[in-house]
Amino acid sequence: VAIDGPSASGKGAVAVRVSQALGFHCLDSGALYRLVALAGSDTPERTAETMQVEFLDGRIFLSQQDVTDALRDEAVATRASDVARRPGVRTALLQRQRAFRKPPGLVAEGRDMGTVVFPDAELKVFLTATPAVRAQRRYKQLKDKGIDANLHALSRDLEQRDARDAARAVAPLAPAPDALQLDTSERSLDEVVGVILGWCRERKLGGR
Ligand code: DC
């Protein structure tokens, strides 16, 4: 199951819930770009290829160090969007992402899951939400974590990041032609998960 969409469209939370309901593995592909950004090397292509990463019980480790919280920083997100423009970085991360596809199945979320990484996914979903709703969601997410945030600056950063992600030459943020689009602006997390699980049932996906 491929779930793509812009920043703060709800992909992360939705993918975790859908994967739990189906009993599938889950891939947060943005974390890989964030890890390359966090490593901060002058040769991100090489970092993407050689970095030592572990996903364990919802925590993410870089060279055995728990970097889960550091990865959520908005400054890291902005740098991630920047390294994500580099074709060499994307190529290096391609195999890492495809390695997550294991029985009984995978829910993968990001920007190019349905278009580039898993073009043969059995279900492709493209989540959208209005810019105002997305900024508000990210604001709340940061505040809940005790991170100081400014709604106006956040809104501007999200807009810039999405414009950059959508405009890049390689694997831009875009719905696959066969993706089902879902506007989450006025739907709760439960409702969005419910709609996607309905689509999964129609395709007989998931053992549970
Ligand atoms: O989903 P996220 O906010 O963690 O992603 C951070 C950045 O990584 C995003 O702005 C663009 C890049 N990214 C990408 O280019 N392709 C993906 N499949 C996932 C993320």
Look at strands 106-110 and 25-28 and give their pairing: parallel
Distance between CA 75 and CA 62 in Å, rounded? Answer: 18
- 184 by Cβ neighbours in 10 Å (0-12 / 13-18 / 19+) ranks as buried
Å from CA of 200 to ligand 1 middle: 24
Token look-up 């891939």 returns: 27
Q: Is the pLDDT of residue 9 over 60?
A: yes
Q: How many CA atoms lie within 13 A of 48 on its CB side?
A: 26
CA 202 to chain centre: 24
Q: What is the pLDDT of residues 80-98, one digit of tens each?
A: 999 999 999 999 999 999 9
Average predicted confidence (pLDDT) for the chain: 95
Task: Kindly report the pTM of this predicted structure.
Answer: 0.95
Q: Is residue 161 within 6 Å of ligand 1 at its C-beta?
A: yes
Å from CA of 4 to ligand 1 middle: 10
pLDDT > 70 in the chain, percent? 99
Q: What is the pLDDT of residues 37-87, one digit of tens each?
A: 999 999 999 999 999 999 998 899 999 999 999 998 889 999 999 999 999
